Chain A
Amino acid sequence: MKILLMGHPNVGKSVFFNRLTGANVTESNYPGTTVDYTKGWMKIEGGDVEIVDVPGTFSLDPKDRAEEVAVAMLHENRDAKVISVIDASKIERGLYLAMEIIEEGYPMVIALNMRDVAEDKNIVIDADRLERILGIPVVSTVAIAGEGIKELVSRLKEAKPVNVDDIIANAANASDTTGAADAGGAA
């Protein structure tokens, strides 16, 4: 099995990679630290799993060489699972890339990383609800502190491809229920 760590620049992919594989790829606090991919191995339930630290990209429509590497990596590994690492304080645009990858049919789990930074900014995310809408595992993490990594690994097996129509339907249902609750607040 192969797992790709994908997400925007500077969301912590390399930190996950080092945590998961025990490797030492360079981690820094600026976008663009990783410009080439690195592969490593980890054991999950006795099996060897290959993990790839992919350079950060904003979308699947590359605008520099590092992003080209990222998109090529995804497209060369049609059978891979994706851990989509999202900066919880910038969740919407993180979801944009995640959606693009989901639409291409990749099984995915989402790591809502930097929960601490989001909390600092007073942003609260209902991860369970997000999980129900998307239909894939969503785990809150603080990768540099190691929080949530175990849960993320244990839920990798639940990663599965989802149909965008289902997500649209789930989102509509969810807003119906809130709509009922706060008397038609959401149209």
Chain B
Amino acid sequence: MKLNTGERWDLIDRISKETVTFGAYRHTLKDAIGELTVKPMTGIPVAIAVMYGFWSVFGSFAGFFTDGFFVRLFDAYWLPWLQEVFPGQGEWLYAIMVDTGGIESGEFVLSSNCLESFGVLTSGLFVAIGVVLPAIIIFYLMLALLEDIGYMPRLAVLLDTVLHRVGLHGYAIVPTILSLGCNVPGVTATRILETKKQRFIMMTLLAIFIPCGAQIGIMQDVVPDLMGWILLYLIIGYFVFGYILNKIVPGKAPEFLIDVPPYRRPLLSNIGKKVGGRVRGFFVVAIPFVLLGCAIVGVLYQLGVIQFLGDTLAPVFVGWFGVPKETAGPLIAAFLRKDLAVAQLSAITMTPYQMITAVVLVSIYFPCVATFAMMLKEGWKELIGSLAVLAVVVFTYGGLIHLIGILLGVA
């Protein structure tokens, strides 16, 4: 037999009257802290402090391991040793695996560091293990802490008003923050949004504007002083294009109802398991792609495809976006791994503003292949829609950034 909603609630009322006693409500310390972090007057300063703390721990931890340890290990020992023992210097396999080198006054010279060598075993391994791995570990450690304490839903409540402007609601902060680690779980997390419209807007914004942890890690290493600008352009893009999408995408953007869970003391074992699992995922999924991306770009260089693309697309790159035509190579790599692409950009000579534009382009242009596959799994119609939006965004926003540079007199 089935009950209707009213009958069911009546029955539950009767059952609960018999079995549950509600004592007097005590205002505990946990409740007090909970309220302080949700009420805007106190909650917003706390949120800013939390984000700032997150950022500075992230930067100093990643910097400590990358600059203090891995850069020396890779540049002083690993690279010279490989350059020495790998056979066939100057040949194509050597160029792809170890060092493409350079020509100085007519002579072949070896690269002096792992970002310029472009080899699978040098740049590829350095980017994956030396730069991205420490960044990923610290990012996931802190994310796990925020998740398990129960801070995320509070952030959702605080940001609700702002996110409504872009057709979403506070809970969109969960896919957004997950995407800052990796866009793949971010895309899956869009399932917690109620309507197709919200899911589409969220997925599109994630794929275009949210840089993943690997990419943030490498940016922190190679262009630390330009980070602020790059992130600012991405955040502005997120809101501006979110606002536009909200106006043009049909559908509803309902209010959200959320249970804010009580704060809990995180369990070390659970934090360990989560960070371990996510880092293992990085090893299994990301590292092969970094190495593969390195190899493909290396081969394309050797075959002259990248020079050809660069020359063909030069009017677009130089004229419209205002970046050097060599950016073509990293943009191809960006489809496999964005972190690799940023590393390759850093080896190209350009002005700081060109670098900002190029890194923003790498971020907003095509999602990496893993994200692409995940979006396809969530629905091919949405994927095609997202890609259409993406094409428009890359051209208008990329051009706009160039224009801003011209107006500021820096491009």
Are B25 and A10 in contact (CB-based, < 8 A)?
A: no
**Which of A74-82, A150-158, A168-176 lies at the interface?**
A168-176
1/0 per residue A121-160: CB within 8 Å of B?
1111111011001100000000010000000000000000
| B23 in complex: contacting residue of A69, A100, A122, CB < 8 Å | A122
Given contacts A103-B3, A144-B267, contact A29 B261 (CB under 8 A): yes
Contact A125 B24 (CB under 8 A): no
- Inter-subunit contact B21/A175 (CB<8 Å): no
Chain A residues whose CB sits within 8 angstroms of the CB of B152 once the complex forms = 28-30
| Interface of B (DSSP majority class) | helix
- B12 touches which one: A28, A64, A92, A126 (CB < 8 A)? A92
B153-A100 in contact (CB<8A): no
Of the listed residues A95, A117, A178, the one surrounded by the most CB atoms of chain B closer than 10 A to its CB is A95
Nearest B residue to A119, CB-CB: B23
Do A35 and B194 have beta carbons less than 8 Å apart? Answer: no
Closest-by-CB residue of A relative to B156 is: A30
B-chain residues with CB within 8 Å of residue A26 when the two chains form the complex: 274, 277
A63 to B144, CA, bound (A): 27
Given A9-B259, A27-B274, A99-B8, residue A129 in contact with residue B28 (CB < 8 A): no
Does B191 contact A123, Cβ atoms closer than 8 Å? no
Closest to B152 in A: A30
CA–CA, A171 to B270, complex, Å? 40
CA A53 to CA B28, docked complex, whole Å: 33
Contact residues in A for B21 (Cβ distance below 8 Å): 123-124, 126
CB–CB B191/A65 < 8 A = yes
Q: Is A164 interfacial (CB-CB < 8 Å)?
A: yes
A140 to B388, CA, bound (A): 52
Q: Does A31 sit at the interface, judged by CB under 8 A?
A: yes
Give CA–CA (A29, B174) in the complex, Å: 12
Contacts of A10 in B (CB 8 A): 259, 261
A31:B22 contact, CB within 8 angstroms: no
| Residues 116-156 of chain B, each 1 if its beta carbon lies under 8 Å from chain A, else 0 | 00000000000000000000000000001001111011000
In angstroms, Cα B19 to Cα A124, docked, is 8
Give a binary string over A64-89; 1 marks a CB under 8 Å from any B CB, 0 the rest. Answer: 11100100000000000000000000
Number of interface residues of A (CB under 8 A): 55
Contact yes or no, A99 B11, CB < 8 A? yes
Interface membership of B9, Cβ < 8 A: yes
A175 to B22: give the CA distance in the assembly, Å: 17
**A49 touches B (CB below 8 Å):** no
* Complex CA–CA separation, A129 to B15 (angstroms): 9
A123 surroundings in chain B (CB, below 8 A): 20-23
Known: A99-B11, A103-B3, A167-B11. A31 touches B277 (CB 8 A): no
Distance between Cα atoms of A168 and B1 in the complex (Å): 11
Residues of A within 8 A of B148 (CB): 27-29
Cα of A130 to Cα of B18 in the assembled complex, Å: 8
A171 to B3, CA, bound (A): 15
What is the CB-to-nearest-CB distance from B148 to chain A, in angstroms, rounded to a whole number? 5
A122 touches B22 (CB 8 A): yes
Given A122-B24, A126-B19, verify A31-B14 contact (CB < 8 Å). Answer: no
B16 — nearest CB in chain A belongs to which residue?
A: A92
A150 to B28 Cα, complex, angstroms? 31
Instruction: Indicate if the CB atoms of B17 and A186 lie closer than 8 Å.
Output: yes
| Bound CA–CA A120/B29 (angstroms) | 11
Chain A contacts with B in 90-123, Cβ cutoff 8 A: 90-92, 95-96, 99-100, 103-104, 117, 120-123
The answer on a CB contact under 8 Å between A121 and B25 is: yes
Contacts of A127 in B (CB 8 A): 19
User: Which of B15, B21, B193, B273 has the largest count of A CB atoms less than 10 A from its CB?
Assistant: B15
Per-position contact with A for B186-202: 1 when CB-CB < 8 Å, else 0?
Answer: 00110111100001000
In the bound complex, how far is the Cα of B152 from the Cα of A29, in angstroms? Answer: 8
The chain A residue sitting closest to B258, CB to CB, is A31
| CA of A127 to CA of B20, assembled, Å | 9
- Chain A proximity of B176: nearest CB distance (Å): 13
Q: Would you call A99 and B12 a contact (CB within 8 A)? A: yes
Q: With A122-B22, A164-B1 in contact, do A29 and B192 touch (Cβ < 8 Å)? A: no
**Interface contact A124-B18, CB-CB below 8 Å:** no
Partner of B19, one of A9, A35, A104, A125: A125
Q: Which 6 A-B pairs have the closest CB atoms?
A: A122-B23, A28-B147, A32-B192, A29-B150, A65-B191, A35-B191
Beyond the given pairs A103-B1, A123-B22, A123-B23, 10 more chain A to chain B contacts, judged by CB atoms under 8 angstroms and listed by A's residue number, are A28-B144, A28-B274, A29-B147, A29-B264, A35-B188, A63-B194, A120-B30, A124-B23, A129-B18, A171-B11
Residues on A close to B: CB < 8 A?
Answer: 8-10, 18, 24, 26-33, 35-36, 55, 63-66, 69, 90-92, 95-96, 99-100, 103-104, 117, 120-127, 129-130, 133-134, 144, 163-165, 167-168, 171-172, 174-175, 178, 186
Measuring CB to CB, which residues of chain B are less than 8 angstroms from any residue of chain A?
1-3, 8-9, 11-26, 28, 30, 144, 147-150, 152-153, 171, 174, 188-189, 191-194, 199, 258-259, 261-264, 266-267, 270, 273-274, 276-277
